[in-house]
Amino acid sequence: MALVAGLITVWAIRNDSQTSTSDECPPGAVEIKTSPIPKPGDIELVVLNGTDQDGLAEQAASQLEDRGFVVTETGDADEPYDGTALVYFGPDQYAAGIHAHAYFYQGHEEFDLDWDKPITIVLGSEFREVRSASDARQSFAQGGIGEAPEGTCTVE
């Protein structure tokens, strides 16, 4: 019986549809790495102010730097934003973008297959503060990486 159980286990692992490798990506799909999740010190961010409130991008940048992120630029967004924060990122920054998103209460992810800029955060009129590292970890633990965006497949 142990042999049968061992064979069934090996078969189940080999035929598990939840595992994904680059060999299993559909033709034309863009590979995104979901692990390891980078540490804040390895994540570069651009922070933009999408409101008429002076100094908001600099305030958020300071809070992000206090949490270990590297902020390379601050400034004003091209258009106003009414929500909390929009976090823009592309396939090369997928895990880092999800990690950065966890620091914004009710923030929104804006994944773009063609995004070739640094992770960019646009702060909106509902933004109050960057979450603490412990709150972000809890948020990330609850939401995790999520499902791969359309047109992509995950690799580790």
pLDDT tens-digit profile of 94-111?
A: 999 999 999 999 999 999
| Regions of the chain with pLDDT less than 50 | 1-22
For the chain, the domains span 33-155
Work out whether strand 70-76 and strand 44-49 pair parallel, antiparallel, or are unpaired.
parallel
Helices (H), the chain: 2-14, 56-66, 94-101, 133-143
Q: What predicted TM-score, i.e. pTM, was given to this entire model?
A: 0.80
Q: What are phi and psi of 151, to 5 degrees?
A: 90, 5
Distance, CA of 52 to CA of 142 (rounded, Å): 33
Q: Give how far the C-alpha of residue 77 lies from the chain's centroid of Cα atoms, to the nearest Å.
A: 20
Contact 53, 80 (CB under 8 A): no
The CATH classification number of 33-155 equals: 3.30.70.2390
